[in-house]
Amino acid sequence: MDTSSFPLRAGPKQPSRAGSSAFPPIGEYAFLSDCETTALVAPNGNVEWLCLPRMDSPSVFGSILDRDAGGFRFGPADVMVPAARRYLPGTMVLETSWATPNGWIIVRDVLLIGPWHHETDHSSTHRRAPTDYEADHILLRHVRCVNGEVQLTLDCEPVFNYGATTGKWRWTDAGYHQGACRGPEGQPELTLTTDLNIGFEGARAIGRTLIKEGETRFVALSWGKVAPPTSCGEAYPRLVWTAHHWQHWLARGHFPDHPWRIYLSRSALTLKGLTYAPTGAVAAAATTSLPETPGGERNWDYRYSWIRDATFALWGLLSLGFSWEANDFFYFVADAAASGEALQVMYGIGGERDLTESTLEHLHGYEGARPVRIGNAAHRQNQHDVWGAMLDSVWLHTRSRDRLDERIWPLLVRQVEAAIAHWREPDRGIWEVRGEPRHFTSSKVMCWVACDRGARLARLREDDELAERWQAAADEIRDDVCANGVDDRGVFTQHYDTRALDASTLLIPLVRFLPADDERVRKTVLAVADELTDNGLVLRYRIEETDDGMQGHEGAFTICSFWLVSALVEIGELARARRLCERLLSAASPLGLYGEEIDSESGRHLGNFPQAFTHLALINAVMHVIQAEQRAEQTTMPLSPNANQAPAPVGTDSTGEATTAAARLDPMTLGRIALHREQSGTAAGGGEGAEAPTAPTGPSREPSAPQ
């Protein structure tokens, strides 16, 4: 579909050239968050995605999915391409520099966070233990003129309920500096506060002023009970407070002193930004229906929390030292499992079970990709990996604290028994195919994980009878997979009735289904690397070999390429792993973010954005490479006491202990140590304890940035 014929409103616009798309590339959006909602900002300064009051609520700005679905631009009047964009270091504050014929300005955009508000009442949304801060429910945009003079324009056009209903503006009692916009019943009222003079043109609030060197201006869009700033003197300290909050939060992490640290820190910030603080849920992405295939139908709503993300989230968060966030997400998963009903594939970020899928026919979609979906029908699918993901997350959580929460145990028993009852049945698999159910190899492997981790946890409780029964089930599942999920080459296949490859089999060494030196593991990893790649990037599967119920091409799944990095390290192919990791890191968006897929020809990001699963896999892959290189350096140092000894298994020395301080923080290493010790009969050791975050002390200086 040719999107060049789509009408554009007289309001916020994108630069458009003959034959070019009216939409920015997905990878050029900036991501903002206050840990309750998120926003995407286009390069031209237009806020093109904002859902209120939560990140999975209906949008008020939705022009990322339709150029008529609302936007909010604040920037120079006649220039649409910025000179530079970046995040203030260690923060979620976006800084955009603009060069015009007459001057330069710097715009900073941020979703404000402030001190905890509920001093005399109780929050109706928070289920996790509160910290000292929370979202202010304000989008602040601050501009400073650093040279010359610039004509500045403000254009705010909310269109509520995914672009279906325009709002109605009215004046407040603050003269020409504040307006309120009311949408349909049930939608939050928006208040626009600024030191510009504003007026209303239908559904748009507009303003225009000339800003000169040394001057500042601001605009704040608010939708909650916290009062917005009414002047730059009030706005700027709140921006600084929020920047310092993010820097204080990031300082709690443990990052290796390595050139790749910047990718780890941006991934950590992105994961924190995709966390819904009141419940601890981690949303899979900030958006819905950004296409996996340009102009195609593979468009899904990812603003929910997947149970399978639990294991990877705990791996990632604990690896970097963010035990508080890992603990919150763990208890969100535990809450979901505590309902007594069957464990679902995914839940709403508030714990909702009903995620009914529907299509929005009035939206054209990103670059004409339709349908635009909200909700996700996969929540009702049978996907047998969920039990293993749940048990593995508990195992990691328990190993990091050296104890098992007693209230969790009955929930775990139900999940293990469910895995035992259903592992022989076909399912829809990790990729949530909408074709016929199959006996997917990775689903069987994750059922093994459920039984294996359950048996280990039972031993910690000294319940030997249950441990023995669950271990016997795990052994039976492993024997079945090895008998039916391996082809005549000795390579693990997508499912029992095919020779097709699937990237999910890369998880086999990562979850310790088989040791990394097993010949079948090595052959599988190399087969995926050599045969399931497009220009070196890993596909989920070959669509011509897989009945996924969909049509059209899809790009390389970035998470699968990062899995391959980790798996190559596991089998000893460190040089190849590093080369692939370097290539993947170089493919990051200009702001260090990743979507779900990368087009192997153009390098363009595809799918919902930014993608939590991809950033989690990045953390795991980068830590694999860094720790492996550290071990290699230690074993080759001429004065090392172990210089003449054979290298120890991945992640441990000859006694099974972690080899570096960084490795001791890695929960995957903790898991490997536990497996090593149980197999060798040695006693289990402890792990890292939970640590509460340090709250910012308030604004004291400006975050790092040019003046």
pLDDT digits (tens, 9 = 90+) for 301-335: 999 999 887 778 888 898 899 989 988 988 898 88
Class of residue 34 by CB neighbours under 10 A (exposed 0-12, middle 13-18, buried 19+): buried
Domain with CATH 1.50.10.10 in the chain: 261-636
User: Residue 220 in contact with residue 138, Cβ under 8 Å?
Assistant: yes
pTM: 0.86
pLDDT for residue 120 = 73
pLDDT for residue 660 = 35
- Over range 515-532, report the average pLDDT: 97
- Over range 217-242, report the average pLDDT: 97
Q: Name the amino acid, one letter, at 576.
A: R
Give me the phi and psi of 209, to 5 degrees please.
Answer: -155, 160
pLDDT for residue 482 = 97
DSSP category for residue 380: G
pLDDT at 13 over 70: no
User: Residue 319 in contact with residue 667, Cβ under 8 Å?
Assistant: yes
b or e along 529-564 (b: 16 or more beta carbons within 10 Å of the residue's beta carbon)? Answer: beebbeeebbbbbebeebebebeeebbbbbbbbbbb
Percent of the chain with pLDDT over 70: 86
Q: Report how far apart the first and last C-alpha atoms of the chain are (Å, whole number).
A: 45
pLDDT at 644 over 70: no
pLDDT at 3 over 70: no
Four-way CATH pick for 261-636: 1.50.10.10, 3.40.50.720, 3.10.129.10, 2.60.290.11: 1.50.10.10
Report the SS3 class of residue 68.
coil
Q: Which residues contact 188 (CB under 8 A, 6 or more apart)?
A: 52, 53, 223, 224
542-556, 566-580, 605-619: range with lowest mean pLDDT: 542-556
153-167, 244-258, 412-426, 546-560: range with lowest mean pLDDT: 546-560
Cis peptide before 89 (omega within 30 of 0): no
Helix or strand (DSSP H, E) at 373: strand 373-374
Four-way CATH pick for 3-251: 1.10.357, 1.10.3470, 2.40.160, 2.70.98: 2.70.98
pLDDT at 1 over 70: no
Specify which residues 106 forms β-bridges with. Answer: 97, 144
- Over range 5-31, report the average pLDDT: 62
- Over range 141-160, report the average pLDDT: 98
345 or 514, greater pLDDT: 514
pLDDT at 699 over 70: no
User: Residue 44 in contact with residue 75, Cβ under 8 Å?
Assistant: yes
- Over range 436-451, report the average pLDDT: 94
User: Residue 275 in contact with residue 282, Cβ under 8 Å?
Assistant: yes
pLDDT at 390 over 70: yes
Q: Residue 13's CB: how many other CB atoms inside 10 A? A: 17
82-96, 285-299, 394-408: range with lowest mean pLDDT: 394-408
pLDDT at 520 over 60: yes
Of the candidates 142, 61, 50, the residue with the CA atom closest to the CA atom of residue 96: 142
Q: Name the amino acid, one letter, at 30.
A: A
Give me the phi and psi of 309, to 5 degrees please.
Answer: -70, -15
Report the SS3 class of residue 306.
strand
Q: Residue 660's CB: how many other CB atoms inside 10 A? A: 18
User: Residue 197 in contact with residue 165, Cβ under 8 Å?
Assistant: no
User: Residue 344 in contact with residue 353, Cβ under 8 Å?
Assistant: yes
Q: Give the CA distances from residue 670 to residues 188, 261, 403, 656, 684, in Å, rounded to whole numbers and listed in that order.
A: 46, 22, 14, 10, 10
pLDDT for residue 77 = 96
- The total number of residues written for the chain in this structure: 707
User: Residue 64 in contact with residue 148, Cβ under 8 Å?
Assistant: no
685 or 70, greater pLDDT: 70
- Over range 174-183, report the average pLDDT: 94
Structure tokens at 53: 């009051």
- Over range 499-513, report the average pLDDT: 95
pLDDT band at 552 (very low <50, low <70, confident <90, very high): low
Of the candidates 185, 189, 156, 182, the residue with the CA atom closest to the CA atom of residue 168: 182
Domain with CATH 2.70.98 in the chain: 3-251
Q: What is the pLDDT of residues 585-608, one digit of tens each?
A: 999 999 999 999 999 889 999 999
Helix or strand (DSSP H, E) at 42: none
Average model confidence (pLDDT) across the chain: 86
Class of residue 504 by CB neighbours under 10 A (exposed 0-12, middle 13-18, buried 19+): buried
Q: Is 259 left (phi over 0), alpha (psi -120 to 50) or beta?
A: alpha
pLDDT for residue 255 = 96
Q: Which residues contact 66 (CB under 8 A, 6 or more apart)?
A: 6, 163, 362, 363, 364, 365, 372
Percent of the chain with pLDDT over 90: 67
- Over range 78-90, report the average pLDDT: 97
pLDDT at 519 over 80: yes
pLDDT for residue 549 = 58
Q: CA-to-CA distance for 466 and 208, rounded, in angstroms?
A: 71
Q: Give the CA distances from residue 581 to residues 31, 210, 369, 573, in Å, rounded to whole numbers and listed in that order.
A: 23, 47, 31, 12
DSSP codes joined into one string, 155-218:
EEE-EHHHHTEE-EEEE-SSGGGEEEEE-STTSPPEEEEESS-EEEETTEEEEEEEEETT-EEE
pLDDT band at 542 (very low <50, low <70, confident <90, very high): confident
Q: What is the pLDDT of residues 21-31, one digit of tens each?
A: 899 999 999 99
Q: CA-to-CA distance for 137 and 134, rounded, in angstroms?
A: 9
pLDDT for residue 401 = 74
Query: Among the residues of 485-540, which ranges form H helices?
Result: 507-510, 519-531
228 or 312, greater pLDDT: 228
pLDDT at 522 over 70: yes
Q: CA-to-CA distance for 510 and 672, rounded, in angstroms?
A: 10
Give me the phi and psi of 3, to 5 degrees please.
Answer: -75, -10
432 or 551, greater pLDDT: 432
242 or 540, greater pLDDT: 242
Of the candidates 590, 622, 565, the residue with the CA atom closest to the CA atom of residue 264: 622
Q: Give CA angle at 212 (210, 218), nearest 5°.
A: 70
Report CA Rg, the chain.
26
Q: Name the amino acid, one letter, at 463.
A: D
DSSP category for residue 601: T
